[in-house]
Amino acid sequence: MTFRLSRRTAVPLSTVAVLSLALTACGGGTTKESTAGDATAAPSSSTSAAADPNAPLKEGLKIAYLPKQLNNPYTDVEVGGGKVAVGELKGEYKLVGPNDASASSQVSYINTLIQQQQDVIVVAANDPNAVCPSLNQARKAGIKVVTFDSDAAKTCRDAFINQATTQGIGESLVKMASELAGGSGEIAVLSATPNATNQNSWIEVMKTELAKPANAKLKLVKIAYGNDDDQKSFTEAQGLLQTYPNLKVIVSPTTVGIAAASRYVSSSNYKGKVAITGLGLPNQMRKFVKDGTVKKFALWNPADIGYLAAYAGGALASGQITGAEGEKFKAGKLGDYTVGASGEIVLGPPTEFTAANIDQFDF
Ligand code: RAM
Q: Give pLDDT tens digits for 271-297.
A: 999 999 999 999 999 999 999 999 999
CA 165, 168, 169, 170: dihedral to nearest 10 degrees?
120
Confirm if 257 and 226 have CB atoms less than 8 A apart. yes
CATH superfamily of 166-299: Response regulator (3.40.50.2300)
Instruction: Give the closest residue to 34 by CA, choosing from 197, 211, 227.
Output: 197
Q: Which among 6, 30, 74 is the best mutation to test ligand 1's pocket, defined by most ligand atoms within 8 Å of the CB?
A: 74
Question: What pLDDT does 42 receive?
Answer: 52
Question: What pLDDT does 5 receive?
Answer: 33
217 CB-near residues (< 8 Å, 6+ apart):
183, 184, 185
Question: What pLDDT does 48 receive?
Answer: 52
β-bridge mates for residue 296, sequence order: none
Query: Hey, whose CA ends up nearest to atom 10 of ligand 1?
Result: 149
Question: What pLDDT does 10 receive?
Answer: 29
Confirm if 122 and 313 have CB atoms less than 8 A apart. yes
Tell me how far the alpha carbon of residue 112 lies from the centroid of ligand 1, in angstroms.
25
CATH 3.40.50.2300 placement within the chain:
34-163+302-347, 166-299
Strands 328-330 and 297-299: unpaired
Query: Hey, whose CA ends up nearest to atom 6 of ligand 1?
Result: 254
Tell me how far the alpha carbon of residue 167 lies from the centroid of ligand 1, in angstroms.
16
For the CA of 73, the nearest atom of ligand 1: 7
Neighbours of 59 (CB within 10 A): 10
Tell me how far the alpha carbon of residue 353 lies from the centroid of ligand 1, in angstroms.
16
300 CB-near residues (< 8 Å, 6+ apart):
6, 163, 164, 347, 348, 349, 350, 351
Q: What is the pTM of this model?
A: 0.88
Q: Which residues of the chain have pLDDT under 70?
A: 1-48
What residue spans of the chain are helical by DSSP H?
Answer: 73-88, 107-115, 132-140, 166-181, 197-210, 230-243, 255-266, 282-290, 302-317
Q: Which among 172, 199, 225, 301 is the best mutation to test ligand 1's pocket, defined by most ligand atoms within 8 Å of the CB?
A: 199
Give me the CATH topology for the region 34-163+302-347: Rossmann fold (3.40.50)
For the CA of 253, the nearest atom of ligand 1: 6
Residues in contact with ligand 1 (CB, 6 Å cut-off): 68, 72, 74, 124, 149-150, 192, 196, 198, 228, 254-256, 279
Tell me how far the alpha carbon of residue 59 lies from the centroid of ligand 1, in angstroms.
31
Confirm if 213 and 247 have CB atoms less than 8 A apart. no
For the CA of 124, the nearest atom of ligand 1: 9
Question: What pLDDT does 343 receive?
Answer: 98
Question: What pLDDT does 78 receive?
Answer: 98
Query: What are the tens digits of pLDDT across the range 49-103?
Result: 789 999 999 999 999 999 999 999 999 999 999 999 999 999 999 999 999 999 9
Query: Hey, whose CA ends up nearest to atom 5 of ligand 1?
Result: 254
The CA angle 227-81-341, to the nearest 5 degrees, is 75
Collapsing DSSP states into helix, strand and coil, what is residue 275?
Answer: strand
Query: Hey, whose CA ends up nearest to atom 2 of ligand 1?
Result: 254
For the CA of 72, the nearest atom of ligand 1: 7
Tell me how far the alpha carbon of residue 53 lies from the centroid of ligand 1, in angstroms.
32
Q: Residue 182: CA atoms inside 13 Å, Cβ hemisphere, count?
A: 5
- Residues for the chain: how many in total? 363
Confirm if 352 and 19 have CB atoms less than 8 A apart. yes
The CA angle 188-78-151, to the nearest 5 degrees, is 60
